[in-house]
């Protein structure tokens, strides 16, 4: 029985997972600046219609996702050519530039704080630059972890990526709240939001420095013909016998290094893309980007909305840890189905709550009251619990596992890019839906949540029908799964 060097594997995993922490940090930091962005860049443009104003606001909040799409597309080829390690270090640089630039977008263009809407264009450019870093990290961090992890604990270790993501979100929720209480609402709109966005500089530097001290992955070394270097790394991760055996398996699966994308059929790519798309269609980033706005719509004050957002962050971390403890015991598929059903029920309940709070009869007792806020918070926490123990971490585990090695770079790049495209669609469209007077008159901000509930039911059906179980299989054995499964067959373990 091979004995893994668990302490080293965990140390490498935690270092790579810092890319996930920055991913989560960058994703959630914007939630504290939504009001300031509208105040400084959107509201002064009085010539815009309601729909145009909402669309511009939604685009500004979600524009980093365009960078994420670009980053996801280039991450595969770049990491294949230059290595997983240098690619992650490059992502850290992009995080740094995007953070500092979006906090002070006037640099090189005009006086700080005096440009008004004219600073919107450089702000968007810097957010997109940071987004490229997010897109790269979102693909390469879990890929790095999967390629250095022993099969028996690979699922557990890859979930460190999601724990890092949600920990980054929780950290930035605390940071945003700590900054927000330093002044009043007007101070946040003029100065505080800059500190929120600039705070990402610190973890960016930490990530870059720590990545300097880790090796690249054995699979990348083999891909570049550096078998001796690959064996040396494997010997540090496990005993010599297992290291040589793993090296032979890697060499076998990488003999055809340029296999066409559809060498294993279209189904494997379809499954990867749809897992990514459904992860976003369930509405997670609408909740994360606009959590303070959502709680304000339920009647919370600014300080209370930030505190309730922290509760959401704590729930994300807690239930992601639950996923980490169960993903290699319960399996990927049961967690995905269970989580989707939990999200469906909670999103439908949240939509009903919003609708009821503006209704003249049922809403009489709930009219933007403390009770409505508490029930809304409860529904969101249940939703976050369902996502965090399933679609948050498990999709990343699946994406790092299901694609055969010889097409992994290209296939994973497409799947992750599809995820960011879906994320952009959901995040941008939420502001349009939530700001539409006709929809709010009929549903009182609840319409979008009902859509996410229906999408969650669809996600559960998709997993039941098409997604294979990969628990306990080596990456090489998963490749054989696609070899022997007809493209149009229903996949079961």
How does DSSP assign 391-444, residue by residue?
Answer: TTHHHHHHHHHHS-HHHHHHHHHHHHHHHHHHHHHHHHHHHHHHT-HHHHHHHT
* Residue span of the structural domain in which 176 resides: 6-214+256-484
Per DSSP, the three-state class of 369 is coil
pLDDT in tens, 457-488: 999 999 998 887 776 666 566 666 665 444 44
Which comes out higher in pLDDT, residue 420 or 94? Answer: 94
- Residue pLDDT, tens place only, 336-353: 999 999 999 998 888 887
User: 2 or 353, which is more confident?
Assistant: 353
pLDDT top residue among 181 and 199? 199
pLDDT band at residue 373 using 50, 70 and 90 as cut-offs: low
With cut-offs at 50, 70 and 90, classify the pLDDT of residue 490.
Answer: very low
The model's pLDDT over 251-291, given as tens digits with 9 standing for 90+, comes to: 776 654 556 767 677 788 888 899 999 999 998 878 877 76
Q: Is the pLDDT of residue 365 over 70?
A: no
**Residue 470 is assigned to a structural domain of this protein:** yes
Assess if residue 241 is contained within a domain: no
The verdict on residue 222 lying in a domain is: no
In a domain, 491, yes or no: no
**Tokens coding 333:** 């598929």
| Residue 287: both structure tokens together | 């909740």
CB atoms within 10 A of CB 442: 12
Q: Is the pLDDT reported for residue 492 higher than 50?
A: no
Domains in the chain, number: 1
Q: What angle do CA 470, 476, 482 make, to 5 degrees?
A: 65
Q: How far apart are the C-alpha atoms of 312 and 318, rounded to whole Å?
A: 10
Question: Is residue 489 situated within a structural domain?
Answer: no
pLDDT: which is higher, 49 or 211: 211
What's the predicted TM-score (pTM) here? 0.73
Mean pLDDT of 94-109: 91
Q: What is the CATH number of the domain that holds 468?
A: 1.20.1250.20
Is 162 within 8 Å of 20 (Cβ atoms)? Answer: yes
Residue 219 lies in a domain: no
As given in the structure block, the two tokens for residue 479 are: 């490749």
Determine, yes or no, domain membership for 239. no
Assigned domain for 223 exists: no
Average pLDDT rounded to a whole number, residues 227-241: 81
pLDDT of 1 > 60? The answer is: no
pLDDT at residue 246, as a whole number: 77
Q: Say if residue 366's pLDDT is above 50.
A: no
Q: What region does 186 belong to: left with phi over 0, alpha with psi -120 to 50, or beta? A: alpha
């Amino acid at each position: 029985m091979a004995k893994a060097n668990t302490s080293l594997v965990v140390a490498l995993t935690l270092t790579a997972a810092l890319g996930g922490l920055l991913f989560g940090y960058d994703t959630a930091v914007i939630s504290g600046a939504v009001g300031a962005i509208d105040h400084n860049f959107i509201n002064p443009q009085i010539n815009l219609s309601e729909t145009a104003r909402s669309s511009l606001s939604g685009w500004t909040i979600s524009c980093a996702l365009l960078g994420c799409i670009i980053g996801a597309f280039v991450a595969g080829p770049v990491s294949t050519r230059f290595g997983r390690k240098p690619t992650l270090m490059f992502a850290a640089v992009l995080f740094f530039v995007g953070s500092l630039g979006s906090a002070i977008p006037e640099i090189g263009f005009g006086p700080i704080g005096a440009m008004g809407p004219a600073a919107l264009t450089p702000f968007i450019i810097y957010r997109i630059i940071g987004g490229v870093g997010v897109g790269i990290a979102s693909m390469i961090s879990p890929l790095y972890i999967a390629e250095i992890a022993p099969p028996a604990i690979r699922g557990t270790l890859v979930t460190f990526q999601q724990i890092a993501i949600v920990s980054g979100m929780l950290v930035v929720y605390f940071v945003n709240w700590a900054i927000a209480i330093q002044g009043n609402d007007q101070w946040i709109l003029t100065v505080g939001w800059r500190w929120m966005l600039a705070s990402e500089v610190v973890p960016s530097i930490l990530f870059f420095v720590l990545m300097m001290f880790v090796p690249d992955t054995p699979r990348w070394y083999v891909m570049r013909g550096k078998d001796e270097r690959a064996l040396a790394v494997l010997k540090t991760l496990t005993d010599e016998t297992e290291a040589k055996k793993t090296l032979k398996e890697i060499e076998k699966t990488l003999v055809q290094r340029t296999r066409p994308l559809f060498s294993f059929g279209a189904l494997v790519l379809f499954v990867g893309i749809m897992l990514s798309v459904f992860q976003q269609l369930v509405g997670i980033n609408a909740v994360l980007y606009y959590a303070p706005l959502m709680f304000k719509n339920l009647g919370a004050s600014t300080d209370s909305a930030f505190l309730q957002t922290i509760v959401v962050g704590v729930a994300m971390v807690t239930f992601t840890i639950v996923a980490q403890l169960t993903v290699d015991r319960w399996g990927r598929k049961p967690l995905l189905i269970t989580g989707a059903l939990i999200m469906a029920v909670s999103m439908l309940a949240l939509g009903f709550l919003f609708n009821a709070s503006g209704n003249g009869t049922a809403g009489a007792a709930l009219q933007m009251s403390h009770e409505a806020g508490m029930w809304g918070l409860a529904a969101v926490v249940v939703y976050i619990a369902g996502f965090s123990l399933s679609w948050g971490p498990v999709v990343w585990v699946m994406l790092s596992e299901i694609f055969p090695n010889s097409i992994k770079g290209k296939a994973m790049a497409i799947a992750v890019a599809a995820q960011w495209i879906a994320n952009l669609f959901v995040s941008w469209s939420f502001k349009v839906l939530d700001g539409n007077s006709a929809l709010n008159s009929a549903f009182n901000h609840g319409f979008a949540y009902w859509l996410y509930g229906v999408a969650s039911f669809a996600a559960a059906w998709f997993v039941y029908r098409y997604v294979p179980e990969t628990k306990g299989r080596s990456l090489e054995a998963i490749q054989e799964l696609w070899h022997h499964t007809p493209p149009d067959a229903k996949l079961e373990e």
